[in-house]
């Protein structure tokens, strides 16, 4: 059963007494009559006169289709994920930037036409797929580089913001601790340490700090700041016991912060934060613009590739002449089973293309089929060619 979160691309050979347009019109009338689809959810997907090449070439291409398909799909998905991250899951903002040729995805697909100015239909099928692949690889490499650059800038900004606005165990103390809170840095014997204490342990600290080691200046500790989790105290000790005091404080779950008083430190930190913020904003704007452009390019290459894949599978299924009526359907989740049933009924006459193969397979002796071909035989086969184009879900 094909997914109801994908568009269905359905291809059948054009009957001798009808045109592709008439067959697509008949299909639309049948699906609407059966209540399987609304008229606005079906559209023709006219293919240009593509070159078929040799049977050997078609079979070779068909073997590579699943791998190529997965890569193309991953490129588009990464761009969508990038937009989701940039806009914090804002669906409206994402939809505004997921456009193809200035149209939303649905409108683009339901009015799709082959872009002859970009993809020459007179090229061989291998050349066309190679062109799609090169375009996808270029888009992927550019997006990966730009996303990496943005993530580095964003990470640096977040680190500086944590340093500025985090709790007392990690934030900068430059705008909290003043010169008067410390003993003179030129003292040969004394040093002031800054200790972060859990708020629930404030009384314990005040009771124990003088006895953690010898040579602690009595009553030298006072509370300088507090937040939701911690309190910050200073304490003055003799330099000769500094390392021992740090170790004893750690054993009692008190954290001694490294700190050197610098009158210019606060200004430097403010400047670094401003510069990091400006850099992150600039790279965010650049990545949004690039994601919008590359989404359009990648999605356009993807759907043209899917059109070529549909053509290849149609030739391998129905043979020559390569004259097919191709329709794009947007299934409704509640009516997708009815849609499939109506399609199978509408094209039941095409079973003759597969009749001999099915009869032969059913009557053949049971034997193991190795590798990927076993999986192919297990797949459900319809009387028409069906290619799926996953919907962009945001």
* Other CB atoms within 10 Å distance of the CB of residue 374: 10
**Is pLDDT of 359 > 50?**
no
| Cis-peptide into 344, omega within 30 deg | no
Give pLDDT tens digits for 2-22: 999 999 999 999 998 899 999
Question: CA 202 to CA 31: how far, in whole Å?
Answer: 75
Question: CA 28 to CA 329: how far, in whole Å?
Answer: 10
| Domains along the chain with CATH numbers | 6-153+280-390 (1.20.1460.10), 179-261 (3.30.70.100)
Query: Quick one: pLDDT at residue 374?
Result: 39
Do the beta carbons of residue 15 and residue 351 sit within 8 Å?
no
Do the beta carbons of residue 110 and residue 330 sit within 8 Å?
yes
Do the beta carbons of residue 10 and residue 344 sit within 8 Å?
no
Per-residue tokens: 112 = 């799709």
Angle between helices 55-86 and 125-165 (to 10 degrees): 20
Query: Quick one: pLDDT at residue 354?
Result: 54
Give pLDDT tens digits for 153-162: 999 999 888 8
pTM over 0.95? The answer is no
């Amino acid at each position: 059963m094909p997914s109801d979160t994908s568009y269905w691309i359905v291809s059948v050979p054009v009957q001798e007494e009808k045109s592709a347009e008439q067959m697509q019109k008949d299909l639309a009338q049948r699906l609407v009559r059966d209540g399987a689809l609304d008229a606005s959810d079906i559209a023709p997907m006219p293919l240009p006169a593509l070159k078929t090449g040799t049977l050997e070439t078609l079979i070779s291409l068909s073997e590579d289709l699943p791998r190529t398909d997965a890569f193309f799909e991953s490129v588009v998905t990464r761009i969508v994920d990038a937009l989701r991250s940039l806009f914090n899951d804002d669906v409206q903002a994402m939809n505004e930037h997921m456009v193809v040729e200035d149209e939303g995805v649905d409108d683009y697909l339901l009015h799709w036409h082959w872009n002859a100015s970009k993809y020459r239909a007179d090229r061989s099928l291998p050349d066309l797929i190679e062109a799609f692949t090169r375009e996808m690889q270029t888009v992927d490499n550019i997006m990966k580089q730009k996303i990496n650059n943005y993530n580095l800038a964003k990470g640096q900004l977040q680190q500086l913001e944590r340093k500025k606005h985090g709790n007392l165990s990690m934030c900068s103390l430059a705008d909290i601790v003043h010169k008067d809170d410390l003993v003179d840095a030129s003292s040969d014997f004394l040093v002031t340490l800054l200790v972060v204490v859990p708020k629930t342990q404030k009384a314990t600290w005040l009771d124990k700090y003088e006895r953690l080691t010898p040579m602690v200046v009595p009553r030298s500790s006072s509370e300088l700041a507090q937040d939701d989790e911690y309190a910050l105290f200073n304490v003055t000790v003799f330099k000769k016991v500094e390392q021992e005091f740090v170790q004893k404080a750690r054993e009692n779950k008190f954290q001694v912060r490294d700190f050197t008083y610098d009158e210019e430190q606060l200004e430097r930190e403010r400047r670094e934060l401003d510069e990091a913020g400006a850099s992150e904003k600039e790279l965010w704007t650049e990545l949004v613009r690039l994601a919008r452009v590359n989404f359009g390019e990648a999605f356009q290459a993807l759907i043209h590739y899917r059109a070529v894949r549909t053509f290849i599978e149609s030739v391998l299924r129905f043979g020559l002449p390569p004259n097919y009526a191709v329709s794009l359907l947007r299934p409704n989740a509640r009516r997708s089973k009815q849609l499939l049933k109506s399609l199978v009924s509408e094209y039941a006459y095409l079973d003759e293309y597969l009749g001999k193969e099915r009869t032969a397979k059913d009557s053949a002796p049971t034997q193991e089929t190795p590798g990927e071909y076993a999986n192919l035989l297990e797949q459900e086969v319809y009387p028409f060619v069906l290619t799926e184009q996953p919907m962009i879900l945001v």
